[in-house]
Amino acid sequence: SQNHAMVCIEDLKVRHMSKSAAGTTEQPGRNVRAKSGLNKAILDQGWFEFRRQLEYKLAWTGGWLVAVPPHYTSQTCPECGHCSQSNRPTQAQFVCVACGVKENADVVGAINVLRAGHAQFACEVSGAVMPPAAGTHRSDSGTAQRLP
């Protein structure tokens, strides 16, 4: 947070990511055990606490945390803007079916999250409440106070 004035992240909803697998005890469905393991791994990551700490540290140093909707960030081409499930032939690979750009899917997602964060920040900055200046913290009442 000391080296970046703005950090853009996906606004992930862990509750939705860790929903139980479909099925009943009589007919448990497919891959229930694998989904259970995935849910435990997701919940063990502590993403909310990481986000809370990142937001706190950025506010402390006068930075911004911008959370953008995660929808289609890894399916949208950063070059031409084409969005399709077909752009992701594998979990790790991105190949745009419109313009042919090839890249790692995580890199494509990061580029799109950053662009969406910049756009969101630019649209909101005129009416946004500025974060506290560096060296301040929020009191229990929510107002910024300068530290001694």
* pLDDT tens-digit series, residues 74-118: 999 999 999 999 999 999 999 999 999 999 999 999 999 999 999
- With respect to residue 125, please indicate whether it lies within any of the assigned structural domains: yes
In degrees and rounded to multiples of 5, residue 95 shows phi and psi of: -135, 115
- With respect to residue 102, please indicate whether it lies within any of the assigned structural domains: yes
Q: Which residue reads 């106070």 in tokens?
A: 145
Structural domains of the chain, count: 1
- With respect to residue 109, please indicate whether it lies within any of the assigned structural domains: yes
Going by C-beta distance under 8 Å and a sequence separation of 6 or more, which residues neighbour residue 114? Answer: 8
Q: What is the pLDDT of residue 118?
A: 94
Run of H or E including 109: helix 105-124
- With respect to residue 14, please indicate whether it lies within any of the assigned structural domains: yes
- With respect to residue 26, please indicate whether it lies within any of the assigned structural domains: no
Token pair listed for 29: 């469905």
Per 3-state DSSP, what percentage of the chain is helix, strand, and coil (rounded to 5)?
35, 15, 45
- With respect to residue 136, please indicate whether it lies within any of the assigned structural domains: no
Token pair listed for 139: 């009191």
- With respect to residue 91, please indicate whether it lies within any of the assigned structural domains: yes
| Domain that residue 92 falls in | 6-20+32-131
Q: What is the pLDDT of residue 107?
A: 97
Encode pLDDT of 46-83 as tens digits.
778 888 999 999 999 999 999 999 999 999 999 999 99
Q: Which pTM does this prediction carry? A: 0.68
- With respect to residue 126, please indicate whether it lies within any of the assigned structural domains: yes
Asked if residue 1 lies in contact with residue 54, where contact means CB atoms within 8 angstroms, the answer is yes
Selected residue with higher pLDDT from 5 and 21: 5
